Structure 1
């Protein structure tokens, strides 16, 4: 009988100790903005000592987006991607390359490992 009383008391204490206003975590339903999206941005990095040369620019006005990005590839060519998204047409891209690929010789003459005595 004592066990039932203790168990019932513990159950009531847990029920009363529960917070009443539990915050909701997570994302609610997205609400459409009252104005169409409109932005324009760009950036570029050119750091010759590290070999980094890349950039990106994009502009959006409502459902229409246009932009391009470029990167200097390890073989010396510049890869440029120009893209557009017009409404529900999807992502349409054109990829071009500037320059000729260079493959420097990295082969060194064979040197045998030193002998251990």
Structure 2
């Protein structure tokens, strides 16, 4: 069964974004993951140098952390779809760019790409 991973925005947490699963197809499994960096009353996926400008070292470290979690939860071969909002969307973009073959797809809302310039052209 495919796994849809819900990635909350900066300053939020997994208990807020998991509510999306009630409005999505019941034919897949859902997991809402809490970002590892404390941020105000919530959590963040990466330290930044300003809104939507991740520190590369922080983004890389969190991506490694996430991949370890994902490989335990959804071994290679299980389809994984990332759904992210805001900072979670930027994080999903970083994951997709780093390893596009690992993910079956993604959906993002209010993303800020995790790169300085367009990766295209």
TM-score (norm 2): 0.21
Q: Which protein is richer in helix relative to its size? A: 2
Structure number with greater CO (CA < 8 Å, separation at least 6) is: 2
Q: Which protein is richer in strand relative to its size? A: 1
Q: Which has the larger radius of gyration?
A: 1
